[in-house]
Each structure stands twice: as C-alpha cells, then as structure tokens.
Amino acid sequence: MKLGAFSISLSVKDLEVSRTFYEKMGFAIFAGSVEQNYFIMKNGNALIGLFQGMFDNNILTFNPGWDENAQNVAHYDDVREIQKHLKANNVPLVKEADENSEGPASFVLTDPDGNMILIDQHL
C-alpha cells in the first residue's frame, strides 16, 4: 500500500510557543497561520502539524496522492482502496470514507496502543 506523505499532527497548548520551539529545531512554516489555528512545519522531508484547539490528542497522518511538499504524485493508492484493504484484514475503523465516492476523502483508525491514525486524501 502507498499511504502517501507522512506527518504527525500535534495538539498544542500555545501555537506560537510551539512554532518558536520547532523553528529553533530547524523547521520552517510550510502552511497555515495563527488565524487558522495551525501551522504545518517542514524540515527537509519531515513534517509536523501544530494544531491549537482542533483535537485532543496527537494524530499520525498519511496523505495518499501527495508527496512531502503537498504535490500530487502520479501513482498512489486511493483512500477507499486502502480502507478496503484494512477492512479485509479485520482492522477496525473509527470513521470510514464513503466507498462509493470519488476524490477527497478520509478515514480514521487507531493502533493497538490507542494512537489515532488519519488517512486523508486531498485529491
């Protein structure tokens, strides 16, 4: 399976404090703003999303169809195909994508330790 670009989405208490911290580690703002309550920070191929007040826990995020620069890739596995594969392997899902839809969609699952995983296709 091709899951696409990987990032970790962190639920932060203070967006500006977190932005400053990750900038000191060599990350730069790639997307987002204070007004939107999030920043996507990038250092090479590493991506960290900083989100204030949007969700309670940290989330592992995969974006089928995108590379680490949010650019479309030619060959990728559609989010619905990934979902079908996981369901066929008895992986329980928290939220499902509509398998009869096309285009952008997402689904959510948790790993055995309760970590949330978001599979989020934008195209």
What is the Rg, in whole angstroms, of the alpha carbon atoms belonging to the chain?
Answer: 15
For residue 6, give the amino acid letter.
F
pLDDT tens-digit profile of 55-71? 999 999 999 999 999 99
Question: Range of 88's domain?
Answer: 5-121
Side-chain half-sphere of 23: how many Cα atoms within 13 Å? Answer: 10
pLDDT at res. 122: 94
Q: For 26-49, how does the pLDDT look when each residue is reduced to its tens digit (9 = 90+)?
A: 999 999 999 999 999 999 999 999
Distance CA 70, CA 97 (A): 21
With a pLDDT cut of 70, the percent of the chain lying above it is 100
Q: Number of folded domains in the chain?
A: 1
User: What is the value of pTM for the model shown?
Assistant: 0.88
In the prediction, which pLDDT does 104 show? 97
CATH number of the CATH domain containing 99: 3.10.180.10
15 pLDDT exceeds 90? yes
**Which residues lie closer than 8 Å to 3 by C-beta, 6 or more apart?**
62, 64, 77, 82, 119
